[in-house]
C-alpha cells in the first residue's frame, strides 16, 4: 500500500472522533505515563485516545532525558495505537511512520523540516520537537503503542543550556504560532492517524526510502562522538533495523542509539 501523504476521505479517525477522544489536562507528570496508566485499566481505550497537557512536570525524552516544558508553550501530547501483526523487530517502522507524518505536518507551517535520527524533528539544524514511543508487547508482537510527541510552539527564548540547539514555531514563523495548543494537537493527530490508516506498516522498504530522504545531515560531513572521541563522519542512511549507517575514515560502520552522539 502506498504511503499517502494527504488525509483521505472516510477516515476512521475523523476530526470529530479525535476531538471526542482527546483528554486535555492542565498539568501532568508525563502524558505518556498518564496514558499508560489508563491503558492498565480493565476497560480498553479506543484507538487514538490522546492525552494533552498544558504543562508536563516530568516530560520524557530519548535516552532517559527530560523534556523541558514551560506551561502553555509546548504541544505535549500522547496517544495510543494498536498496530496489527507488527513484531517487535518491526517497531522502527512505526517510528518512521510517525516521524514522517510529523514532518509532513510541520512542513505546512515551516520550510526545510527534517528528521534527525532516530526520532527528532529539526529545522535549520535546531530541534523543533521529538517523539518517544513505548510499546506494550504480547509475545513477540506489539499489542499497543503509546506515542508521545513534544513540539515547541510558543517559546520565544530557551534556557542557556539549549540555546542555539532548540527552536520553536514562534521563532521560525510567529504568525503560524498564534492558535491555541489544542488546535495544533488535533491537526497533528489528524495527519498522523490518516498516515497510519493508509500505510502498510509491513512495507519497510518504502517507509525507509521516505524516512531517509528526509534525514538530517545525510551526506553532509559533520562531527560525532563515538566512545568518548570526536570524529568526522558522513551519514549514509538508516537501515531497516533502525541503526545508523555512517562513513568514518573511509570505513562504513553501523551504530545503535547509545553508540553515537551528534555534535553541534
What pLDDT is recorded for position 11?
74
Indicate the pairing of strand 261-262 with strand 22-28.
unpaired
Q: Mind giving me the DSSP string for 147-207? A: EEEEEE-S-S---TTTTTTB--HHHH-GGGG-S-HHHHHHHHHHHHHHHHHTS-TT-HHHH
CA distances in angstroms from 128 to 12, 53, 54, 140, listed in the order given: 29, 18, 17, 33
Taking all residues of the chain, what is their mean pLDDT, rounded to a whole number? 92
Instruction: Write the burial class of residue 164 (CB in 10 Å: 0-12 exposed, 13-18 middle, 19+ buried).
Output: exposed
145 vs 78: CA distance, rounded Å: 10
Indicate the pairing of strand 251-255 with strand 244-248.
antiparallel
20 vs 26: CA distance, rounded Å: 17
Domains of the chain with bracketed CATH = 15-213 (3.30.930.10), 221-262 (2.30.30)
Cell of 195: 498516515
Indicate the pairing of strand 126-138 with strand 120-123.
antiparallel
What pLDDT is recorded for position 71?
76
pLDDT tens for 34-51 read: 999 999 987 889 999 999
pLDDT tens for 195-234 read: 999 999 999 999 999 999 999 999 999 999 999 999 999 9
pTM beyond 0.85:
yes
Amino acid at each position: 500500500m502506498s504511503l499517502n501523504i494527504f488525509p483521505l476521505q472516510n477516515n476512521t479517525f475523523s476530526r470529530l472522533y479525535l476531538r471526542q477522544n482527546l483528554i486535555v489536562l492542565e498539568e501532568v507528570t508525563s502524558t505518556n505515563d498518564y496514558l499508560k496508566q489508563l491503558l492498565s485499566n480493565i476497560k480498553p481505550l479506543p484507538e487514538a485516545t490522546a492525552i494533552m497537557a498544558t504543562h508536563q512536570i516530568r516530560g520524557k525524552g530519548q535516552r532517559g532525558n527530560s523534556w523541558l516544558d514551560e506551561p502553555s508553550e509546548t504541544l505535549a501530547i500522547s496517544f495510543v495505537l494498536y498496530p496489527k501483526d507488527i513484531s517487535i523487530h518491526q517497531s522502527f517502522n512505526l517510528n518512521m511512520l510517525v516521524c514522517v507524518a510529523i514532518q509532513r505536518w510541520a512542513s505546512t507551517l515551516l520550510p526545510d523540516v527534517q528528521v534527525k535520527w532516530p526520532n527528532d524533528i529539526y529545522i535549520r539544524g535546531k530541534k523543533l520537537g521529538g517523539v518517544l514511543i513505548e510499546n506494550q508487547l504480547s509475545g513477540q508482537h506489539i499489542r499497543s503503542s503509546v506515542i508521545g510527541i513534544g513540539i515547541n510552539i510558543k517559546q520565544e527564548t530557551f534556557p542557556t543550556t539549549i540555546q542555539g540547539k532548540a527552536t520553536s514555531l514562534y521563532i521560525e514563523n510567529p504568525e503560524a504560532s498564534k492558535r491555541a495548543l489544542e488546535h495544533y494537537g488535533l491537526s497533528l493527530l489528524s495527519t498522523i492517524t490518516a498516515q497510519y490508516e493508509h500505510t502498510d506498516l509491513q512495507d519497510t522498504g518504502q517507509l525507509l526510502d521516505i524516512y531517509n530522504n528526509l534525514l538530517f545531515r545525510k551526506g553532509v560531513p559533520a562531527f560525532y562522538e563515538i566512545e568518548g572521541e570526536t570524529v568526522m563522519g558522513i551519514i549514509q542512511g538508516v537501515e531497516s533495523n533502525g541503526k545508523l549507517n555512517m562513513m568514518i575514515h573511509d570505513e562504513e560502520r553501523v551504530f545503535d542509539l547509545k553508540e553515537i552522539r551528534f555534535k553541534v
